[in-house]
Amino acid sequence: MSVPMVEATRVSKSFGTVEVLKGIDLTVARGEVMCLIGPSGSGKSTFLRCINHLEKLNAGLIKVDGELVGYSRSGNTLRELPSREIAARRAQIGMVFQRFNLFSHMTALENVAEAPVGVLKRPKAEVRDEAEALLRRVGLGDRLHAYPHQLSGGQQQRVAIARALAMKPKLMLFDEPTSALDPELVGEVLEVVRQLAGQGMTMILVTHEMSFAEEVADKVVFMDGGRVVEAARPEILFRSPRHARTREFLTRVL
C-alpha cells in the first residue's frame, strides 16, 4: 500500500495551559475526502491548521505525503525547520479559510496568480492563462478584474479556492469554508468543492454542513474535547453512530 497523504500520530497541542488536541491519530489516503465534524472548541480547526504548520505541535507527528511539514526529526525530538523550508513545504498544501482572506489590494486574477509567480517562480504569461482558466472553472470568468470588496462572499470564497488550486497542491484543507456565508451563497461554494472531490483531489474539510459531508465524504470524523471520538464512513457515522456523544451531537445539529 502506498504512503498515505496525511498520517497523524498522537498529535497534542496546547494553548498555554489549555490542551486543545489530546493525541489525535488519523490517516487520510490519496484521493480520499475526509470531513471533520464536532462542536465548536472540539479542536477540529486547530488540527487542520497543524497539518500545514500554521499551528505548532507540542508532541506527535504529522506527515504529509510521507514528509514532516514543519519539523526535522532526530530520535525522539522534533526541531522546527527554518521558515524558508516550512514555506516550501506549505506551498504543496492548499488551504481555504472561513473568512476567505483574499488579498484586498489585488484583483481576483492577481490573487490567484500571486503565489505561482512569486513562490514557484513560474512564467507570468503561463500562470495568467492558468489563473484565468481556474477562475472560469469556479464560475468567475467574468469577474477576473474585480477586487475582493466588489465580490459577494460566495464569489470571494470561490476565488480563494482557485487561489489555492493554482499552486497545484497535493492536498486541500478547508476550514469551515461556508460558515461566513449568507445561506443562499453556500450552494455555489459547495458545488466547487463537490467538483474537486469528483476529480480525485485529496481533501480535509472542517464543516458544519452535515448533509454535504454525508454526500461528499469518504470518511467522517467526529471530534470532541480534543479527541477523535469516532471515525467512519458517512453512511455509518450519520445513520448508526456507535458512541453516545456522536448521537447526542447529531441530534442537536440535524
Partner 1 sequence: MTTERVNGADMADPAPRRSLFRALLEGRTRREVAAEGTPEAPVVVSGPKWGDRVGLAAVLLVGLLILQEVIRNPNFKWHVVFDYLFEPTVLRGLGLTIWLTVAAMAIGIALAVILAVMRMAPQLWLRLPAVTYLWFFRGTPLLVQLIFWYNLAFLFPEITIRIPFGPVLYSGSANDLITPYTAALLGLALNEGAYMAEIVRSGIMSVDKGQQEAARALGMTNSRILWRIVLPQAVRIIIPPTGNQTIGMLKMTALVSVIAMYDLLYAVQTISSRTFDTIPMLIVACLWYLLLTSVMTFLQGRLEKRFEPKGEGARP
Q: Which is nearer to partner 1, 39 or 139 (CB)?
A: 139
Least Å from the CB of residue 196 to partner 1: 17
Q: Which is nearer to partner 1, 7 or 147 (CB)?
A: 147
The string of DSSP codes covering 49-106 is: HHHTTSS--SEEEEEETTEESSEEEETTEEEEPPHHHHHHHHTTEEEE-TT----TTS
Least Å from the CB of residue 112 to partner 1: 10
Q: Which is nearer to partner 1, 36 or 151 (CB)?
A: 151
Residue found under cell 450552494: 187
Main-chain phi, psi angles of 210, to 5 degrees: -65, -40
CB-based contact 210:238 (threshold 8 Å): yes
Main-chain phi, psi angles of 14, to 5 degrees: -125, 145
Least Å from the CB of residue 179 to partner 1: 14
Least Å from the CB of residue 84 to partner 1: 6
Other beta carbons within 10 Å of 45: 21
Q: Which is nearer to partner 1, 51 or 213 (CB)?
A: 51
The set of residues, in sequence order, having a beta carbon less than 8 Å from that of 220 and lying 6+ positions away, is 34, 35, 37, 213, 214, 231, 232, 233, 234, 237, 238
Q: Which is nearer to partner 1, 110 or 224 (CB)?
A: 110
Nearest to 151 by CA among 166, 173, 135, 127: 135
CB-based contact 115:167 (threshold 8 Å): yes
Q: Which segments of 98-140 does DSSP mark as H helices, in order?
A: 108-118, 124-137
Q: Which is nearer to partner 1, 12 or 152 (CB)?
A: 152
Nearest to 115 by CA among 98, 131, 132, 134: 131
Least Å from the CB of residue 147 to partner 1: 5
Q: Which is nearer to partner 1, 90 or 219 (CB)?
A: 90
**What residues make contact with partner 1 under the rule CB under 8 A?**
52, 54, 83-84, 87-95, 97, 99, 101-105, 114-115, 118-119, 146-147, 149-150, 160, 163-164, 167
Least Å from the CB of residue 86 to partner 1: 9
Least Å from the CB of residue 199 to partner 1: 21
